[in-house]
Structure 1
């Protein structure tokens, strides 16, 4: 199929000024998809920033209902082109086509949600009282903003970053991951068709060095990053060394699932297996540490083993509609996950099911369950980002909370119990930015998403999402100045 591989800068597609390209291989069979994806050079980034900077004054002054109409049309175009975009995403990083479609339709809802904010950003006023000063607080766009996306959910991450920025009146430069650049590269035509003026949104591609150019650029006011903790630290350092730009980070997770004795067993098993394995476990807030109360442990372990074995049968060609689980994103990610599996075997960690590669071609990994790894084992402490969970038991609520919080991460968590009082009590004590009760956590346009501790800073989605693209300005008016004579 035809695909766009150029950069989208100032409303036009163009090749990299350096001539550098990168290759994309289909992870299901290692076949070459394209070797012509253009890598942005420093000049290309400077051009994108210059275009965004020139477009900013007019875009911020565009009436809110006009900005909203453009955003709504773009959402419509995402849905209209869902088949093509999903196929491009699936070819690049192995997402099953059904999952890829869902991860485009969800972002369309995000664009519509934030379109509702355009023109509705209000301020505050305070009366003079005794000080004789009338006080105004108004909220203004930041200017040129940038976003760096991880590869596991390009459209969701792009919408979290671009949609609130647009509603607030900013302009934007989006860098996609080198692992999954194709679907977002197709945005350019859709952005033009929707009516975004040239320079308002720019799409560039490349690996870490391109992200570094954005993070260190003196004319970018904010950068929103989704990715690994080490890369997030590098973004913060680059910001500090350049213009102290605002930084928001959504980093990794090693999220716990707490299953109490009174939990509905089938529901808990379904959400910690079938739902966990969507996108082959490549979801940052997926609960990969499963903590089960001792009274239910034997039944849970038997049931989850069966569920993972059934999931293995549904893993296959991501281009087929009946495939539930696909390969990992590329060879590098495959080798990383396999290193965890091999390391666990060397440590003597018990493997309940899986624990090896699947098939001779592609980057498929068997859905895997480890039992009772040591608390210091890497498969228990580190983010694997694959179809792998570790199961341990606990005695009581106090121990469950202690185990849940024994991590440097704090992105997601889930609690399974029939006691709603306990569910809310435990949710309040878990050190994480999101909690799902009796369900794997699902994001929503209306609620903020982000983490505690080393899972990041700032929030995306919901009302908090647009606040991240606004800056308050305080104006004081002295009301006691006597009239001129």
Structure 2
């Protein structure tokens, strides 16, 4: 298990004395207490290494950059099970789910390898133009005789990425893949909740053939992320996490060197289920599909809106589905486990606070609403029926295995309730493009739980973020 920082092609201990302690969210046992925290000195060293490596990496032929990226993807695929087990040990993701996340990252790396050397510029033909400055003759405006205009796209330089803990490998790939393809260098910061699998990247980075300094991996909490956001020599930062932390990243970037920023923040996405929906499909996509990763997915549709005609059948079916899901929740290290615990005690306490407050409000719990077992951070899959539209469980992101269900009469009412949120990340709906165009969300799934695609941008409206997570940083 690697716990050091990876800077300039080498594993090195942090320059400070503080470390991160990881306990298993499954049974509270100690996983490690030696994960290094990157200090200002360490971040400066990583930036210096990335800056020094940038000119040569920028000038590396696209075909060679692509070959290295493809080799790295092959290595991720080779070690998918090992990396999945590290992720599972740290934040409780079932190993089967964790391995699937690694394989999704493999696809992202291979996709962006195809962009290396293919980011073209633009040119415009010569034609007579009015120009604002130059010699004037009498009352005749100066006119250029025509020049070719060429637009050249260049890499930004040193980029940084801050990952959330719920999907480390995919988030790292979204941030690093485009940057590598276009000749940028990178500093990646893992989440303090799930640092182990990304810490293992160092050996793979070297084995793939990335020159020293092109990719650096550091660990730490918010204070380390702040060092990256404030750094004067980082040209671009991509952040995935909470809206609160995203605002801090944006403010720090503005106060430092006005670096480019992309933010992928929280969500409280709605699923709209109309009377004409396929009931079995709707139940499957709002139970097992929602509960993957124990509901800890930013675009998971946690507000389920069901038209009155189908509501009794749906409510009966969702109760059964969530109760069965609870039976498939257990030890994340076992391949047969479908649903694991929440990431750590802090996340567990946050979710339980929502559930306790809902109980004080007198909300109706169709299923769950309590802890599962006497060890670890397991929460029973929970369905809350018809909360008030101003209730916190309906308006705020819970980020756990909890859905809130309300009924509606008309399509117009459904759209109004769906849009009544400060978030706008993803949505699951069933009346195709007409309704999809009226939903205030960056991404919309039709007749399915939404899934990201490497071929399309991913990002949200309103307070779900700025920019897209699939980007070409140049």
Q: TM-score range by the shorter chain?
A: over 0.9
User: What is the number of residues matched between the two proteins?
Assistant: 458
For residue 443 of structure 1, report the CA deviation from its aligned partner: 0.9
Where do 1:201-220 residues align within 5 Å?
201-220=215-234
For residue 130 of structure 1, report the CA deviation from its aligned partner: 1.4
State the partner residue of 1:262: 276
Matched, 1:437 2:459: no
For residue 423 of structure 1, report the CA deviation from its aligned partner: 1.4
Which whole-Å deviations, capped at 9, do the CAs of 1:317-351 have from their partners, x for residues lacking one? 00001100000000000000000000000001110
Q: Secondary structure at the match of 1:448?
A: coil
State the partner residue of 2:34: 36
| Equivalent residue for 1:109, pick from 92, 107, 110 | 107
| Equivalent residue for 1:340, pick from 354, 377, 388 | 354
The 10-residue stretch of structure 1 (125-134 or 211-220) with the greater mean CA deviation from structure 2: 125-134
Where do 1:34-113 residues align within 5 Å?
34-113=32-111
Question: CA-atom RMSD, angstroms?
Answer: 0.5
The 10-residue stretch of structure 1 (59-68 or 123-132) with the greater mean CA deviation from structure 2: 123-132
Which whole-Å deviations, capped at 9, do the CAs of 1:206-242 have from their partners, x for residues lacking one? 0000000000000000100000000000001101110
The 10-residue stretch of structure 1 (359-368 or 442-451) with the greater mean CA deviation from structure 2: 442-451
Q: d(CA) in 2 for partners of 1:184 and 1:114?
A: 19
Q: d(CA) in 1 for partners of 2:283 and 2:237?
A: 38
State the partner residue of 2:172: 158
State the partner residue of 2:415: 401
Q: d(CA) in 2 for partners of 1:142 and 1:346?
A: 52
Where do 1:196-235 residues align within 5 Å?
196-235=210-249
State the partner residue of 1:290: 304
State the partner residue of 1:353: 367
Unaligned 5+ segments in structure 1 are 417-421, 471-485
Where do 1:229-248 residues align within 5 Å?
229-248=243-262
Matched, 1:134 2:148: yes
Q: d(CA) in 2 for partners of 1:381 and 1:81?
A: 40
Matched, 1:325 2:339: yes
Which whole-Å deviations, capped at 9, do the CAs of 1:61-98 have from their partners, x for residues lacking one? 00000000000000000010011100000000000010
Which whole-Å deviations, capped at 9, do the CAs of 1:144-174 have from their partners, x for residues lacking one? 0000000000000000000000001000000
State the partner residue of 1:182: 196
Which whole-Å deviations, capped at 9, do the CAs of 1:243-293 have from their partners, x for residues lacking one? 010110000000000000000001000000110000000000000000000
State the partner residue of 1:474: none
Where do 1:385-396 residues align within 5 Å?
385-396=399-410
For residue 15 of structure 1, report the CA deviation from its aligned partner: 0.2
For residue 372 of structure 1, report the CA deviation from its aligned partner: 0.3
Q: Secondary structure at the match of 2:216?
A: strand
Q: d(CA) in 2 for partners of 1:228 and 1:320?
A: 30
Q: d(CA) in 2 for partners of 1:246 and 1:459?
A: 12
Q: Which runs of 4+ in 1 moved over 4 A?
A: none
Q: d(CA) in 2 for partners of 1:19 and 1:194?
A: 32
State the partner residue of 1:426: 435
Where do 1:303-318 residues align within 5 Å?
303-318=317-332
TM-score w.r.t. length of structure 2: 0.96
Matched, 1:253 2:262: no
For residue 406 of structure 1, report the CA deviation from its aligned partner: 0.3
Matched, 1:372 2:386: yes
TM-score w.r.t. length of structure 1: 0.94
State the partner residue of 2:11: 13
| Equivalent residue for 1:414, pick from 415, 424, 428 | 428
State the partner residue of 2:22: 24
State the partner residue of 1:147: 161
For residue 459 of structure 1, report the CA deviation from its aligned partner: 0.6
| Equivalent residue for 1:299, pick from 310, 313, 333 | 313
Q: d(CA) in 2 for partners of 1:18 and 1:337?
A: 33
Q: d(CA) in 2 for partners of 1:38 and 1:226?
A: 21
